[in-house]
């Protein structure tokens, strides 16, 4: 009884320990889960307009009901006094005391969710404000993307008007790069026409085109930061109207190498996206006036470890004030991305300038630049791309390509046959070779036969093979091929030749007794073999009935003959040089005569009856199938 109580007490103690341990894990996990939640401001989770085609849509018909969903950390939601929307337009106000209140909807994991609905009656912008206790003790929604319009969410009414949307360019073509266009340079009176469309506009609306040779000046202007480097040009109605938009355009005569532009009206700047929806990013377009540039290596051949990498940059219609260079990095090899040289940008050196007249009468001003890199080790891989700096802006190569170079071995790469440690039983040896160069030319080829003769200058022919007869002094020769090239590097390769003119030994130790006729066709052989110099390569037995058995590394074999006759069995041993030796034995096989089985009259009768029965069975089955 005492033992039972003691066990129960131990169980209770163990249960208490386990419960305490599990509780500590839960508490620790809870603290761990909530420890990283340090932000108490509301976060917009969803914005859905009634009848919207997409969650990203921010332009709607007048009177559309807009539903928003916000979340806030549950660490704060228990003490939360309220969340409101503040802003301007569609009955929004900037004062939180008069904001649109959001209602609690649910809590999931570490966040609580609040929703609200309002009617969009005019262009509007808004954000959320949440507070604990006094309404002045609050936090505004922190918008991560502070765009040129300001830190708000924007909504537009289609019927009221929207910002301009880029429409087209005449006399300039797309480069394949988004927002970048190309126009031939130096064309007489060359003009371009830039067009924008405005949804819900009239022909009397005002649209302004902003131009600059600096991209960031356009961006600054959208933030109401202006300077003398930006020009504003009123756009005129293009006499193009549709049921949803009007088109406005401006005609320009190009004089700069590159210009940037965007457009705005009283509703804001061009922020239209590829999906046809308004977004938060300013669209800035670029036109290159006959300008482009490209790079290539001076060498068209593979580069080696003794070469400097000379990269040339060719620019068309660049200006005197801009610079060009190469951005590059180097990794260990094509299979190892460990960086030897991290991303580096080096300015190229101006080399020459000249003019080229094209077939259409345009004159291109061509400038060439160069930059030396390296040399690098064998196997390294160099990645590079040309860049251009114009008015402080960095451009990648016109093609946008990132090129790479593998660094090859400058030494001749050699192949020589026969392979190393090859045996021969003839003084006349046939050699063959291959010589591969990454670049350069072969300047010298020598062959050392290792028999005391002078070094041989090989004739280089298409066969790349030749014969040489050794004056046998010893059995072993180390033959070597030497090759030099025009890069000043060389290489050599050797092969070990072994001459062996002595054949192996082979002996039959015992076999099935052939002094009497063998009536069951079964025979056995015991044998051995050896070679004192090069070693036995393989051993086989020819049983003289069309069967050959490979018995290399074996000393015993057996065979079953199926026909009577006299068989001369050969045991053949071949050494590594090709020398052969054989021994033989004769077996006389006399198998018993076999008679052809004969059917008795009873057997014939039984066979006929069985045949008739089977025929009747299949006939009845066929008739039943036909009835079905």
Binned at pLDDT 50, 70 and 90, residue 10 comes out as low
Range 283-311 average pLDDT? 93
Average pLDDT of the chain is 84
Predicted local distance difference test score (pLDDT) of residue 457: 87
Task: State the Cα–Cα distance between residues 237 and 262, nearest whole angstrom.
Answer: 17
Predicted local distance difference test score (pLDDT) of residue 51: 80
Question: Please, which residues have CB within 8 angstroms of residue 545's CB and are 6 or more apart in sequence?
Answer: 561, 563, 565, 567
- pLDDT at residue 523 tops 60: yes
- pLDDT at residue 596 tops 90: no
Q: Are residues 285 and 298 in the same domain?
A: no
Q: If DSSP codes are grouped into helix, strand and coil, which group holds residue 604?
A: helix
Predicted local distance difference test score (pLDDT) of residue 22: 44
Question: Please, which residues have CB within 8 angstroms of residue 451's CB and are 6 or more apart in sequence?
Answer: 470, 471, 473, 477
Range 407-436 average pLDDT? 94
The total domain count for the chain is 5
Strand order in the sheet with 309-316: 292-297, 309-316, 363-373, 349-357
The three-point CA angle 468-472-477 to 5° equals 70
Domain that holds residue 213: 165-289
Bond prior to 602 in cis (omega within 30° of 0): no
Q: Are residues 525 and 431 in the same domain?
A: no
Predicted local distance difference test score (pLDDT) of residue 405: 96
Predicted local distance difference test score (pLDDT) of residue 621: 40
**Residue at 3 is within a domain:** no
Percent of the chain scored above 70 by pLDDT? 85
Q: Are residues 175 and 210 in the same domain?
A: yes
Domain boundary among 499, 526, 553: 499
**Residue at 52 is within a domain:** yes
Of 159, 87, 160, nearest to 128 (Cα)? 87
- pLDDT at residue 550 tops 90: yes
Binned at pLDDT 50, 70 and 90, residue 546 comes out as very high
Higher pLDDT, 258 or 571: 571
**Residue at 31 is within a domain:** no
Q: Are residues 147 and 70 in the same domain?
A: yes
Domain boundary among 139, 157, 175: 157
**Residue at 530 is within a domain:** yes
Predicted local distance difference test score (pLDDT) of residue 55: 67
From the number of C-beta atoms within 10 Å of its C-beta (0-12, 13-18, 19+), residue 126 rates as buried
The predicted-structure confidence for 120-168, as pLDDT tens digits, reads as follows 998 888 999 999 888 988 889 987 654 455 688 888 887 777 899 999 9
Q: If DSSP codes are grouped into helix, strand and coil, which group holds residue 305?
A: coil
- pLDDT at residue 80 tops 70: yes
Cα distances (angstroms) measured from residue 411 to each of 307, 312, 460, 483: 12, 26, 18, 9
**Residue at 219 is within a domain:** yes
56-65, 143-152, 266-275 — which is least confidently predicted?
A: 143-152
CATH of the domain at 491: 2.60.40.10
Binned at pLDDT 50, 70 and 90, residue 36 comes out as very low
From the number of C-beta atoms within 10 Å of its C-beta (0-12, 13-18, 19+), residue 97 rates as exposed
- pLDDT at residue 459 tops 60: yes
Range 97-101 average pLDDT? 94
Domain boundary among 348, 374, 408: 408
Binned at pLDDT 50, 70 and 90, residue 39 comes out as low
Task: State the Cα–Cα distance between residues 542 and 582, nearest whole angstrom.
Answer: 10
Higher pLDDT, 186 or 88: 88
**Residue at 67 is within a domain:** yes
Cα distances (angstroms) measured from residue 297 to each of 310, 402, 461: 6, 13, 33
This prediction's pTM: 0.59
Range 245-252 average pLDDT? 94
Task: State the Cα–Cα distance between residues 94 and 414, nearest whole angstrom.
Answer: 81
Pairing verdict, β 490-499 and 422-424: parallel
Is there a contact between 480 and 490 (Cβ–Cβ < 8 Å)? no
Q: Are residues 264 and 345 in the same domain?
A: no
- pLDDT at residue 63 tops 60: yes
Task: State the Cα–Cα distance between residues 143 and 127, nearest whole angstrom.
Answer: 9
CATH of the domain at 232: 2.60.40
Question: Please, which residues have CB within 8 angstroms of residue 84's CB and are 6 or more apart in sequence?
Answer: 96, 99, 100, 101, 102, 128, 129, 130
The predicted-structure confidence for 463-513, as pLDDT tens digits, reads as follows 888 899 998 878 899 999 999 999 999 999 999 999 999 889 999 999 998
């Amino acid at each position: 009884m005492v033992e039972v109580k003691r066990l129960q007490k131990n169980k209770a103690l163990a249960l208490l320990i386990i419960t305490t341990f599990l509780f500590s894990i839960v508490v620790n996990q809870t603290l761990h889960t909530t420890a990283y939640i340090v932000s108490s401001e509301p976060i917009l989770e969803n914005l859905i307009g009634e009848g919207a085609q997409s969650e990203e849509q921010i332009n709607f018909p007048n009177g559309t009901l807009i539903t928003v969903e916000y979340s806030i950390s549950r660490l704060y939601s228990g003490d939360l006094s309220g969340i409101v929307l503040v802003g301007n337009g569609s009955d929004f106000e900037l004062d939180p005391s008069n904001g649109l209140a959001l209602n609690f909807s649910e809590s999931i994991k570490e966040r609580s969710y609040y929703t609200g609905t309002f009617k969009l009656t005019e262009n509007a912008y808004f954000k959320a404000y949440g507070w604990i206790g006094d309404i002045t003790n609050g936090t505004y929604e922190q918008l991560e993307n502070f765009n040129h319009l300001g830190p708000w969410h924007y909504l537009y009414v289609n019927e009221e008007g929207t910002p301009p949307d880029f429409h087209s360019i005449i006399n300039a073509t797309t480069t394949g790069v988004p927002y970048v266009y190309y126009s031939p340079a130096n064309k007489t009176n060359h003009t371009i026409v830039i067009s924008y469309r405005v949804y819900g506009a009239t022909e009397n609306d005002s649209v302004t085109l902003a131009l600059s040779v600096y991209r960031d000046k356009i961006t600054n202007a959208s933030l109401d930061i202006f300077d003398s480097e930006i020009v504003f040009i009123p756009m005129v109605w293009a006499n193009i109207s549709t049921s949803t938009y009007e088109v406005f355009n401006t005609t320009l005569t190009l004089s700069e190498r590159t210009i940037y532009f965007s457009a705005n009206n009283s509703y804001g700047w061009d922020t239209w996206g590829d999906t046809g929806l308004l977004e938060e990013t300013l669209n800035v377009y670029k036109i290159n006036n006959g300008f482009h540039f490209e790079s290539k290596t001076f060498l068209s051949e593979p580069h080696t470890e003794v070469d400097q990498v000379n990269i040339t940059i060719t620019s068309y219609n660049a200006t005197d004030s801009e610079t060009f260079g190469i951005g590059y990095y180097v990794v260990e090899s094509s299979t190892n991305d460990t960086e030897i040289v991290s991303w580096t940008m080096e300015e190229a050196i101006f080399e020459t300038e000249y003019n080229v007249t094209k077939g259409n009468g345009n004159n291109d001003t061509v400038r060439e630049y160069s930059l030396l890199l390296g040399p690098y080790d064998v196997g390294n891989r160099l990645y590079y791309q040309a860049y251009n700096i114009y008015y402080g802006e960095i451009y990648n190569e016109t093609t946008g390509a990132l090129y790479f170079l593998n660094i090859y071995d400058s030494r001749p790469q050699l192949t020589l046959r026969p392979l190393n440690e090859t045996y021969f039983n003839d003084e006349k040896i046939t050699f063959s070779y291959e010589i591969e160069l990454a670049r350069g030319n072969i300047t010298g080829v020598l062959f050392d036969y290792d028999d005391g003769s002078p070094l041989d200058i090989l004739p280089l022919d298409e066969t790349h093979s030749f014969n040489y007869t050794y004056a046998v002094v010893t059995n072993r020769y180390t033959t070597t091929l030497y090759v030099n090239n025009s890069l000043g590097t060389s290489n050599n390769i050797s092969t070990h030749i072994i001459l062996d003119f002595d054949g192996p030994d082979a002996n039959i130790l015992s076999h099935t007794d052939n002094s009497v006729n063998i009536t069951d066709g079964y025979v056995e052989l015991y044998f051995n073999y050896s070679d004192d110099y090069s070693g036995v390569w393989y051993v086989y037995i020819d049983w003289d009935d069309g069967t050959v058995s490979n018995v290399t590394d074996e000393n015993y074999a057996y065979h079953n003959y199926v026909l009577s006759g006299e068989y001369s069995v050969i045991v053949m041993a071949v050494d590594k040089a090709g020398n052969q030796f054989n021994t033989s034995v004769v077996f006389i096989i006399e198998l018993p005569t076999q008679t052809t089985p004969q059917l008795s009259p009873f057997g014939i009768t039984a066979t006929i009856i069985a045949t008739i029965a089977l025929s009747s069975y299949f006939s009845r089955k066929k008739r039943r199938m036909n009835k079905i």
